[in-house]
A = this chain, B = another copy of it.
């Protein structure tokens, strides 16, 4: 069913300037947009990029003008663009019905309108909520609980007993519930510490591709509501990730560390074991947080070992001027030669 600019304006709470009945079919960049596409321009300084756009409709803030038929005035165009996307474009279908090649245990309980793709395995005692779609080769181990409206992409592996909330998306190749990395050395070898805990992923979490989330050793690994985790991330046993936290690609979080609510973690960050990252803190890309470190709420840390950004910048500036500092020491020495 076609959607109009007026409907979109209504959905977004935007002021409409232009033809109310313009049909909006897709989203695009200013360069690639066509007459039924929606674009956004975040601020006046980005308007140049859109000066020759063919887009039919644009989300722009007050004070910006663009040569488009239809303008939707909003205070935060990028946010409105993201919201418009969720409204205009249903996500691609991953599976519909239950594919005949799928192996679904008779003891599994599936909600209404669940989609199960080819070669999927659903083991004993699994529960899957309504409208969840599970793509090809996904493996859902014994006793897993998957909420409603979830999107489980191809070849995701859920070890036994993993629990996902509602509206959770997991991308291809990700493994949830693998054994944590814990051993005790004795008698000339490593003994495996029991890795018999669980994993709980709360509502509205999205997890990227080829990421790994280990089960708790004795406790539970938890990913809080609304958290977003990128590709190739490692989450170790017993880690707790707070609500709406953001964790960029290739970051690793070691055993029993906790990450607060709304924390933002850059790419390739390493957080050692037993750290506490306070709510709303920011950890810069490639930073290393040493064992047991507590980062206070709201603090921005950088570098290895991670320290407050201001401190990092100051130290780094001195580091960059070491040659000059040494030159000054030499000058002093020259003026006062040792007898």
Residues on A facing B (Cβ under 8 Å): 26-29, 32, 76, 78-79, 81-83, 85-86, 89, 92, 101, 103, 118-119, 121, 136-137, 139, 142, 153-155, 157, 159-160, 171-173, 175, 178-179, 181, 183-186, 188-194, 196, 204, 206, 208-212, 214, 218-219, 226, 228, 230-232, 234, 236, 244, 246, 248-250, 252, 254, 266-268, 270, 272, 285-286, 288, 304-305, 314-316, 318-323, 325-326, 328-329, 331-333, 335-336, 338
Contact = CB atoms under 8 A, between A and B. Distances in A.
Oligomer copy total:
3
14 contacts: A32-B218, A82-B193, A85-B194, A139-B155, A173-B212, A185-B244, A190-B228, A208-B212, A212-B231, A212-B249, A232-B234, A305-B316, A318-B323, A332-B332
A211 to B, nearest CB: 8
A277 B212 CA distance: 27
A83 B226 contact: no
B79 A181 contact: no
A178 B208 contact: yes
A232 B249 contact: no
A305 B226 CA distance: 31
Contacts of A210: 173, 175, 210-212, 232
A190 B246 contact: yes
A38 to B, nearest CB: 10
Given A175-B210, A250-B250, A329-B332, A181 B228 contact: yes
Contacts of A304: 286
Given A82-B193, A86-B192, A160-B92, A121 B136 contact: yes
A248 B181 contact: yes
B323 A322 contact: no
Contacts of A78: 184, 193
A285 B285 contact: no
